[in-house]
Amino acid sequence: MTALPADVSVVVPTFNEADNIHALLTRVAAAVPAGPRIEVVFADDSTDHTCAVIEREAAHCPFPVVLHHREEPAGGLGGAVVEGFTRATAPWIVVIDADLQHPPELIRELVAQGESTGAELVVASRYAAGGDRGGLAGGYRRLVSGSSTRLAKSLFPRALSGLSDPMSGFFAIRRTAVDRAATEDEGLQPLGYKILLELAVRCRPRGVAEVPYAFGERHAGTSKSTAREGLRFLRHLITLRTADPRARAVVFGLVGLSGFVPNLALLWLLTVTAPDLSYAPAEIIANQAGLLWNFALVDSFVYRNQRRHHRRSVRLLTFAGVGNADLVARIPLAALLIAGGGMTALPATALSMAIVFTARFLVVDRWLYRRLRGRPTAPAAVPGAAAAVTGPVPEPVPDPSG
pLDDT, one tens digit per residue, over 384-399 is 445 666 666 565 555 5
Taking a C-beta distance cutoff of 8 angstroms, is the pair 212, 130 a contact? yes
pLDDT at residue 368 greater than cutoff 80: yes
The rounded distance, in Å, linking the Cα atoms of 22 and 45 is 18
Question: Residue 396's pLDDT is what?
Answer: 54
Sheet with strand 208-212: strands edge to edge: 208-212, 121-125, 171-174, 92-95, 8-14, 38-44, 65-69, 387-390
Question: Residue 168's pLDDT is what?
Answer: 86
Lowest-confidence segment of 139-143, 174-178, 255-259 by average pLDDT: 139-143
Question: Residue 334's pLDDT is what?
Answer: 81
Mean pLDDT of 35-52: 89
| 72-to-44, 55, 80, 212, 354 alpha-carbon distances in Å | 10, 20, 10, 35, 43
The rounded distance, in Å, linking the Cα atoms of 172 and 9 is 10
Q: φ, ψ for residue 398 (rounded to 5)?
A: -55, 135
Mean pLDDT of 344-371: 83
Question: Residue 393's pLDDT is what?
Answer: 59
Mean pLDDT of 186-200: 72
pLDDT at residue 185 greater than cutoff 80: no
Domain boundaries, the chain: 8-241+375-390, 245-368
More confident residue, 331 or 96: 96
pLDDT at residue 236 greater than cutoff 50: yes
Strand partners, 129: none
Taking a C-beta distance cutoff of 8 angstroms, is the pair 103, 131 a contact? no
Question: Residue 402's pLDDT is what?
Answer: 46
Question: Residue 220's pLDDT is what?
Answer: 52
Cut 0.75: pTM above it: no
Question: Residue 170's pLDDT is what?
Answer: 93
Question: Residue 380's pLDDT is what?
Answer: 41
Confidence of residue 144 (pLDDT cuts 50, 70, 90): low
For the domain 8-241+375-390, what is the CATH code?
3.90.550.10
Neighbours of 85 (CB within 10 A): 26
More confident residue, 280 or 117: 117
pLDDT at residue 234 greater than cutoff 50: yes
pLDDT at residue 362 greater than cutoff 80: yes
The packing angle between helices 227-241 and 245-258, to 10°, is: 110
- Considering the chain, what is the average pLDDT of its residues? 80
Contacts of 237 (CB under 8 A, 6+ apart): 151, 152, 155, 197
Question: Residue 68's pLDDT is what?
Answer: 94
Contacts of 167 (CB under 8 A, 6+ apart): 145, 148, 149, 152, 194, 196, 197
More confident residue, 53 or 263: 53
Neighbours of 129 (CB within 10 A): 8
Question: Residue 263's pLDDT is what?
Answer: 83
Lowest-confidence segment of 58-62, 100-104, 238-242, 354-358 by average pLDDT: 238-242
Question: Residue 381's pLDDT is what?
Answer: 42
Percent share of the chain, pLDDT over 90: 28
- Give residue-wise pLDDT tens across range 46-95: 999 999 999 999 998 989 999 999 988 887 788 889 899 999 999 999 99
Question: Residue 267's pLDDT is what?
Answer: 85
Confidence of residue 208 (pLDDT cuts 50, 70, 90): very high
pLDDT at residue 219 greater than cutoff 50: no
The rounded distance, in Å, linking the Cα atoms of 62 and 377 is 27
316 by Cβ neighbours in 10 Å (0-12 / 13-18 / 19+) ranks as middle
